[in-house]
Structure 1
């Protein structure tokens, strides 16, 4: 028997989607407060195990946790309702911002806010990459990753083949936006390990065909400031590529794997979490994710068009020692607005 009605799921998960500023830590805290503390739908151990399993999957872990907890209290239909309720508020906000900021003549204060937030986001991205580094593991990461690749050999070959065919299709049909946009969205939703920031290096090269470096840096910043997962950034890029339709298609493709992983694999989460092969593979992928994120921070510097953005970056780096990233980004945006007055 379902523990909650679909109306309750839509309302509660929608509330989290509206209030979920601050990235995955905030999302997990809000979901835990709802399902474990206030409603007692799920016990603490099951919740923590579910989050651990979601963290082993590619794609946005907090989104997958939202889908799983909704399925746990209202079945598969509840998973769809809860997942959409969690995703849509931030998606709508990102698409609205994209419509304004990517217009031919955006308001000066919007451009200033984006430039300021984009300067601060470089420090936030660098901090996220550094946080993934575990200096105690060293070479063990490489050995574990190799072992994982050996045990999962057929799957690795299949993924590489898929990547190769998709890349071939992309360059063969490079005159058309849609194949490249679809491939970008697949990478974001199904092939990204190591947290939301990994999508930055996955998207940057493709996005350069549709928007300037400054616009892409703005997209990364707006994906952080709006509620919900940072994966919403892909909708901003999709809007830049093909308007509203591109934004919606990009988001649908990017989030579809999360629904599929949970709806199909949810009953097997405990076995997934305990798999030594999966753990070994991800132990090797972890350092690669950290390197990719840190590497993504460098090209974002190319977006700087004003000298004052370097000042914002320096102040953001100091502020992150004590202040949550979302407030650092907002402060950077406010500083940018101030330069337009």
Structure 2
């Protein structure tokens, strides 16, 4: 297969992939399985399962993996880049526009409106993961551990966001120990790195936030929120709470991976160079995981220790996503934003409508609020 075909098709998905991982998976399945028949349906489902075992953005890893299956290393790199770049360019352009001090009032209103809905989106994302995760808890003891890990993840996300990585790792390792005994090489090397975080700043701090997002996050796009929020808002003061809400909203309404939210944080910290650094650091692990481990994916899926780790980390991830809604909601500054949040919650959780439409409607309400003179800052 020509590399030009991979560039064209994966780039098209990168441009049209509004709606997060479900949309990306559907577009890749349509292309690779239904229309072109490059990959069988069972192979594609196995690829989804394998990439969901990895930390980082699963749909991005699926895009890289399917391109790797077709054209090896060159295809994986080209396909992944073409999938990522369209949304990255757009989100950096929007970051420059919305974070600029001279942006028009209607733009600030749109950002404030979309940001107000983000807490509801987080709740929807967390609740959507519950059924599949609960299926892994087959005994009363396992269900009790599931609940404990979920509560721990929620508490960590709401109060100690930067340390959430330790909670996720501990929950996963605990389940491995319960099921298989003490592992020979327990997954604790990350602890010294995390303990060094308070001493770094500048580009190193941006890179560390991106590492947590790209290499240490389990459970999809929304678990990155508590991993970034405390660093971006409270520790380094790169952004205000409202600007962080805007960043999360931008990551939801732009095409491509939701993880590109980290590029907005990087832009706030260090301009265009900071945004590009954050994106490169966050996405590099996905390429490394696929290129180094793609041929071992079948073995990875069958590894009981991996399955046990995910059974423990999974409920902590769900708790973290749900817990992240608390500081997101508390960051709202205006009464009208609380009304928008309530409306978005009804739209997403009761009417069960789409995320992109909810955010666009919230942005329109924000524009209307700005037009009638309500405060939007």
TM-score range, shorter chain: over 0.9
- How many corresponding residue pairs? 332
Cα 1:159/1:112, change in 2 over 3 Å: same
1:77 aligns with 2:74: yes
| Equivalent residues in 2 for 1:307-318, closer than 5 Å | 307-318=335-346
Q: Distance in 2 between matches of 1:244 and 1:151?
A: 45
Would you say the 8 A contact 2:172–2:313 is kept in 1? no
| Equivalent residues in 2 for 1:71-110, closer than 5 Å | 71-110=68-107
Pick from 364, 369, 374 the counterpart of residue 334 of structure 1.
Answer: 364
Worse overlay, 325-334 or 16-25? 325-334
1:205 aligns with 2:239: no
The one-character-per-residue Cα deviations of 1:172-200 (angstroms, maximum 9, x if unpaired) are: 23xx3112111101000000001110000
| Equivalent residues in 2 for 1:39-50, closer than 5 Å | 39-50=36-47
Q: Distance in 2 between matches of 1:196 and 1:85?
A: 19
Q: Distance in 2 between matches of 1:265 and 1:17?
A: 24
TM-score w.r.t. length of structure 2: 0.85
Would you say the 8 A contact 2:173–2:187 is kept in 1? no
Q: Distance in 1 between matches of 2:285 and 2:81?
A: 13
The one-character-per-residue Cα deviations of 1:20-77 (angstroms, maximum 9, x if unpaired) are: 0000000000000000011100001111001100000000000000000011111110
Q: Distance in 2 between matches of 1:221 and 1:125?
A: 11
Q: Distance in 2 between matches of 1:252 and 1:32?
A: 26
Cα 1:145/1:156, change in 2 over 3 Å: closer
| Equivalent residues in 2 for 1:200-239, closer than 5 Å | 200-208=225-233, 209-239=237-267
Match of 1:21 in 2: 18
Would you say the 8 A contact 2:173–2:186 is kept in 1? no
1:171 aligns with 2:203: no
TM-score w.r.t. length of structure 1: 0.94
Would you say the 8 A contact 1:145–1:283 is kept in 2? no
Q: Distance in 2 between matches of 1:285 and 1:334?
A: 37
| Equivalent residues in 2 for 1:146-185, closer than 5 Å | 146-149=174-177, 152=183, 154-164=185-195, 168=196, 170-173=197-200, 176-185=201-210
Would you say the 8 A contact 2:77–2:287 is kept in 1? yes
The one-character-per-residue Cα deviations of 1:189-213 (angstroms, maximum 9, x if unpaired) are: 0000011100000000111120000
Q: Distance in 2 between matches of 1:222 and 1:53?
A: 28
Deviation at 1:339, TM superposition (A): 1.4
Pick from 45, 53, 56 the counterpart of residue 53 of structure 2.
Answer: 56
1:187 aligns with 2:187: no
1:324 aligns with 2:351: no
Q: Helix, strand or coil: the match of 2:292?
A: helix
Q: Distance in 2 between matches of 1:302 and 1:95?
A: 26
Q: Helix, strand or coil: the match of 1:133?
A: helix
Deviation at 1:132, TM superposition (A): 2.3
Worse overlay, 320-329 or 282-291? 320-329
